[in-house]
Amino acid sequence: MKLLRFGEIGAEKPGLLDADGQVRDLSGHVDDIAGASLSPETLDRLRAIDPATLPIVDGNPRIGACVGSVGKLIAIGLNYADHAAEANMALPEEPIVFFKATSCICGPNDAVEIPRGSVKADWEVELGVVIGTRAKYVSEADALSHVAGYCIVNDVSERDFQLHRSGQWVKGKSHDTFAPMGPWLVTTDDVADPQDLAMTLSLNGTAMQDGSTRTMHFSVATVIAHLSQFMTLHPGDVIATGTPPGVGMGKSPQVFLREGDEMVLRIAGLGEQRQTCIAARD
């Protein structure tokens, strides 16, 4: 099942993508794709609905972030063996955990802002994991049972802010629009194996990233179990699980985002994102 949110910023409605690629309105069944609506019981109820009975959404509406009211946006650093190699950094013994401000979440095709003073804005195609049930002190064997579904996240980063402006990585990770999310939340029954998903990112038509979740250092289950030892994960929390090689910082010479650049991101079965870079707004 592919769930989504459509409409203007701040006024998104819940929707479902049917087998013909048409957006269907779920407003009569749930208030939003968020929180309690991600529970197994609610998802089972939505699966039981015949999409043909839902209103078709006319036109070409804006697609918002596929999850609303995200409580925590947690990210994992250096989680791909081949990405660590391109960065000339050792693989960590435990997951590297950092946060992105939830205010940086945006729709999958919204413009990405280049911050004022930016000199090293970068891209990162990542598998997003959306929590569906409360997870605290869970085992690795039980971890995936707490997942509602998966989505694409672009962990946009400003490397100079991240690495040279002192303090935690959050400074380089949290500018407005630095977490395009979606287009869909694909529920777990439609993702056979989260550790076998091809993922790509192109910049202005040139392939930059071409990898697979097979090369994750810490699996999705390991990451969830690890995080749950330090914090309770709640329905609607999102985990960005790391990126494969091909980021701008790892190129020789390095390549960074500029106004007018276009990124296209794809993960097998999870859809496509397309963003144009613009100057930061007030």
Question: Residues 70-106: pLDDT tens digits?
Answer: 999 999 999 998 888 887 778 899 999 999 999 999 9
The CATH number of the domain covering residues in 65-279: 3.90.850.10
Note the pTM of the prediction, 2 decimals.
0.97
SS3 70: coil
Structure confidence by residue, pLDDT tens digits, 173-211: 999 999 999 999 999 999 999 999 999 999 999 999 999
Q: What is the mean pLDDT of residues 116-123?
A: 97
DSSP letter string, 89-132: -PPPSS-EEEE--GGGEE-TTSPEEEPTT-S-EE--EEEEEEE-
- The CA-based angle 50-54-60, given to 5 degrees, is 125
Q: How many CA atoms lie within 13 A of 277 on its CB side?
A: 22
- The residue type found at 22 is Q
Instruction: Say if residue 164's pLDDT is above 80.
Output: yes
Alpha helices in the chain (DSSP H): 40-47, 81-86, 140-143, 159-164, 170-173, 220-227
Position 163 confidence tier, pLDDT thresholds 50, 70, 90:
confident
Position 259 confidence tier, pLDDT thresholds 50, 70, 90:
very high
Q: How far apart are CA 98 and CA 230, in angstroms?
A: 13
- The residue type found at 209 is Q
Instruction: Supply the pLDDT for residue 245.
Output: 94
Evaluate whether 254 touches 248 at the Cβ level (below 8 Å). Answer: yes
